[in-house]
Amino acid sequence: MALSKHVNPSRLLQDSHDKHPHQRGRNKVISAETNHSYGARYGTNPIPKYHLASKGVDADAAYQVIHDELSLDGSPVLNLASFVHTWMPPQADKLMLENMSKNLIDCDEYPATQALHTRCISILADMWHAPSAKQAIGTATTGSSEAIQLGGLAMKKIWQEKRKAAGKSIHEPGPNIIMGANAQVALEKFARYFEVECRLVPISVESDYRLDPKKAMEMVDENTIGIFVILGSTYTGHYEPVKEMSDLLDEYEARTGHFVPIHVDGASGAFIAPFATPKLEWDFKLPRVVSINTSGHKFGLSYVGVGWVVWRDKAHLPKDLIFELHYLGSVEYSFSLNFSRPAAPIIAQYFNFIHLGFEGYRSVALSDMKNARLLSRALENSGYYAVLSDIHRKIETTVGSVKGARGYVNQKNLQRYIPGLPVVAFRFSDDFQEKHPDLQQKWIQTLLRAKGWIVPNYELAPGLEKVEILRVVVRESMTEVLIDQLVADIIEVTENLASKSSSAHGLNILGVAQHKGNVHENAHGRLEVGEGSVSSGTYAKTC
């Protein structure tokens, strides 16, 4: 039987509050407000939800009220959907707290902070093999989204200058930019916000769910301002072939005379590849790569709020994008979309650089990759799932193999694996789907959420949009112990779903979807039925 009407929870709660005698019989709508137990302790009035109270509340009460409400959020450690880093050492926490009030843009007031910012740019330029770390130029951003806009804008401005110099129109037919259909939304935002035609290259299984360079070349013309190549697809973690794309553009330039630059979106991979696969060709070693962005708050291992964009040299950052400022006490230069921004995240990034060094970052990256391979193999060996990501697969060693040519030997175990992010993308195997056609993969996401895990289930990019995948990002906090528990929980909920003949039992499983610990660990020291005394019918002995 269908519900005859919609129940409004807010009105339901309002009508259920205690009423004073003089309020009875009235239908007056009262502004939404909340009453808290802490309010009584501190002598505060109810707190309005949707407008500013005439009088504030005690700081302790305000803290406790907000603290308790935020406890409804999920656990950052168990949020396997996000690439964002969630832990730093206490010393970094202390540094951020000490510098929370500093504004990065105020160079005259905070020259030491600006010096750390400049050092970070030099470190990244050197790490990405810029021709000269002194000539490279870059800036901190609030994240990769802002950094991508800046990289795209620089390519657009340079294209406009060349068109004007050649006496050609910059409006008809106008600029275009090429990227894989698997591009993160920030890349498409650039095209839409800054009026550049976005040419999306459909993905396929043959292209490893990422940009196909040959298909991309079919879209290139004299109005192409550049190509976004992604070092680490958000969907499956695959690195896009920067070197192959660069070689094809070299051939195109030799035929046509048109120079088409590459901006590498290294939001995640630019902090993984230098340490896990240092022989991979993707960065400023390739002359066609003019700019690179990354997120310090992803595999840069800093808290959220810091990204970076670096140009190989000043020639690739047009002067039109650089503003000279005189009103903060000295001459300063700005080429970011945002102006004021907190300095603390930049200081946290520099802390990581000097605290971890190359070996520290390498150790974390290799550990992440090891745990991601462990999860990949476990899921694949279950028979229930097919793994779409390839980081656990050995590189082909046949002569002429493209993958083999781009390989890297893991010095810890001397085995060769396909480079990529520590990301595990998986789906129901064909065999499992054939046996259980009524089961919906999205139920796995729901059942895992009931256990605390946040594992997204979503469609692949255009070209394969009918394929749904589950995805796990293995960050530093995703230890082998948690991988062990995650595998146990995935297998448990999968087998529970498959154990019934009807799909209608799916919701019933939610009632038992709770952490019981790994079954094989529970066996240690566990008492079996009959090993305790017979129940007397009470929960405790009488005094």
pLDDT in tens, 325-336: 766 566 667 788
Which of the residue ranges 43-47, 124-128, 194-198 would you say has the lowest mean pLDDT?
Answer: 43-47
pTM: 0.88
Establish whether the linkage from the previous residue to 89 is cis, with ω within 30° of 0.
no
Q: What is the mean pLDDT of residues 26-43?
A: 63
pLDDT at 402: 40
Q: What is the mean pLDDT of residues 221-226?
A: 98
**pLDDT top residue among 527 and 497:** 497
Q: What is the mean pLDDT of residues 265-293?
A: 97
Encoded amino acid at 187, one letter: L
Q: Is the pLDDT of residue 14 over 50?
A: yes
Residue 409 CA to chain centroid, in angstroms? 27
CA atoms in the 13 A half-sphere facing the CB of 147? 28
Q: Is the pLDDT of residue 53 over 90?
A: no
Tell me how far apart the alpha carbons of residues 286 and 275 are, in angstroms, rounded to a whole number: 18
Q: What is the pLDDT of residues 86-106, one digit of tens each?
A: 999 999 999 999 999 999 988
Q: Is the pLDDT of residue 399 over 50?
A: no
The rounded mean pLDDT for the chain is 87
Q: Is the pLDDT of residue 227 over 60?
A: yes
Q: Is the pLDDT of residue 274 over 90?
A: yes
Which of the residue ranges 106-110, 285-289, 388-392 would you say has the lowest mean pLDDT?
Answer: 106-110
b/e for 76-111, b at 16 or more Cβ within 10 A? eebbbbebbbbebeeebeebbeebeebebbbbeebe
Cβ atoms of 44 and 34 within 8 Å: the answer is no
Q: Is the pLDDT of residue 433 over 70?
A: yes
Which of the residue ranges 113-127, 289-303, 376-390, 506-520 would you say has the lowest mean pLDDT?
Answer: 506-520
The position carrying tokens 């990289």 is 151
Place 537 in a pLDDT band, splitting at 50, 70 and 90: low
Give percent of the chain above pLDDT 90: 69
pLDDT at 41: 74
Tell me how far apart the alpha carbons of residues 232 and 421 are, in angstroms, rounded to a whole number: 6
pLDDT at 1: 47
Q: Is the pLDDT of residue 401 over 70?
A: no
Which of the residue ranges 168-182, 417-431, 489-503, 510-524 would you say has the lowest mean pLDDT?
Answer: 510-524
Q: What is the mean pLDDT of residues 421-443?
A: 96
Cβ atoms of 476 and 85 within 8 Å: the answer is yes
Q: Is the pLDDT of residue 511 over 60?
A: no
pLDDT at 518: 59
Which of the residue ranges 52-61, 107-116, 209-218, 323-332 would you say has the lowest mean pLDDT?
Answer: 323-332
